Structure 1
Amino acid sequence: MSKIQCLVVDDERLALEVMEAYIERVPFLHLAKLCSTPVQALEFIARNPIDVLFLDIEMPGLNGLQFLQTLKAPPLVVLTTAYSQFAVEAFDLNVTDYLLKPIPFNRFLAAVQKVQTQLGENRLRSGLSVPDPKPLDSHLFIKSGVKTIRVDLGEILFIEGKKDYVLVHTRQNKIATQLSLTHFMEKLPADLFARIHRSFIVALTKIESIERNRILIDQTEVPIGELYREDFFKRIG
């Protein structure tokens, strides 16, 4: 299935580089163009199909909100800005999400999931093909004792390996299973989950903060193993 076509507009070179790196890490996204001005973006949109526009607000000449109002049929829009005071006006323009700089990778992923869901709904209404399966709509069946339990991937916070079993942590409960961490890594989407320790797999979109060798998820500290540290920090930038 086709990838989601992304256009990024920002007058700061570093911000463009960050968004380029983030988009490259998500398999179902494709970077169509980086633009440093709204005028460049307008010319590109006129000639090319775009699914989602990552748009800065504070830019010289024409700011992001003014530019958005000039578009007759805008794509989905995710605003990227260092300023929170534009949020009300932004959502009046039906933007999909509002990201505050500096943008953590897990927050970017959460916005992308919203885009993916909304695109799927729009294309179904239009009778077009739906993009790649939505991670938050997918699930696993986990055998726990005599039960087999359905767990939506979007509910998983982290998975913890114990000596003789594995615990799947959600906000609602903890599910014990004899399935291995290796089994879960084979089943989970690699763009949304990461193994950060020999005993832990985490949901990237559920990470609240990172401090040295620890991750905080739902008020629980999860360690980062030395063997996994380098790869993990490369993924989150």
Structure 2
Amino acid sequence: LSGIGVQCGAHRLWSHKAFKAKLGLRIFLAACQTMAGQKNIYYWVRDHRVHHKYSDTDADPHNSHRGFWFAHMGWIYLKKHPLVLEKGNQLDMSDIEADPVVMFQQKYYVPLLILFWGVIPAVIPVIFWNESLLLSILGCVFFRHVYMLNVTGLVNSYAHMFGYRPYDTRIRPAESTYVRHLMMGEGFHNYHHTFPWDYSASELGSLDVFNPATAAIDFFHAMGWAYDLRKPTPAMVANRIKGHGDQVEAELHRTSS
């Protein structure tokens, strides 16, 4: 649920507007994103939009040129580069500010965080299968938080430093190889930075590779909660590969996937 909140909600819905969601789904995704404990949606989206607009420059919050550990986790704990703040303040966030679900979460983030990040995950195992409170807190709160933080971190670090670039060789983000499944569908990063508005964050679908976020969006779409799913046509992808990608790597990528 934490991953769905970040990947489907903060990332694909609010940051990239890759699909549209009805009110109930937006509330559900906001609750799940709160459970992840990765800042509120407003600031998550602002940082991510700056990251895409100024990827791997000093204006990128997790600039991979500053090293693996900075991009992976250090950027969270260190002071932001002045350019990150400057460019972030110049972004148009009017669409986010117009969403009452996002603004409600921002206004009441601390109590919501305590409830969804800490209390609910800790008490459910205690109530329903008699787990000890200590083990529940350690496993369902702290371990879960650290695990999901590292899954997200791999996308910012590993996927910007290792892999191949079949869609656009001019940019640093790459299609990850060995740790792709750990990223839960977010490892197709050369593609994602080429087509950031694709709701699947991949040329492939949820049944082609391990991509639980895409599967979730497909499920919400089947239920009528998600709509206007955006995806480039095969011709658009082929034209980008032909113009700026590596056609040999593209074919190997499809075969290995």
TM-score for both structures, normalised by structure 2: 0.27
Between Structure 1 and Structure 2, which shows a larger proportion of helix residues? 2
Task: Answer with 1 or 2: which has the greater Rg.
Answer: 1
Higher relative contact order (CA 8 A, sep 6+): 2
Between Structure 1 and Structure 2, which shows a larger proportion of strand residues? 1
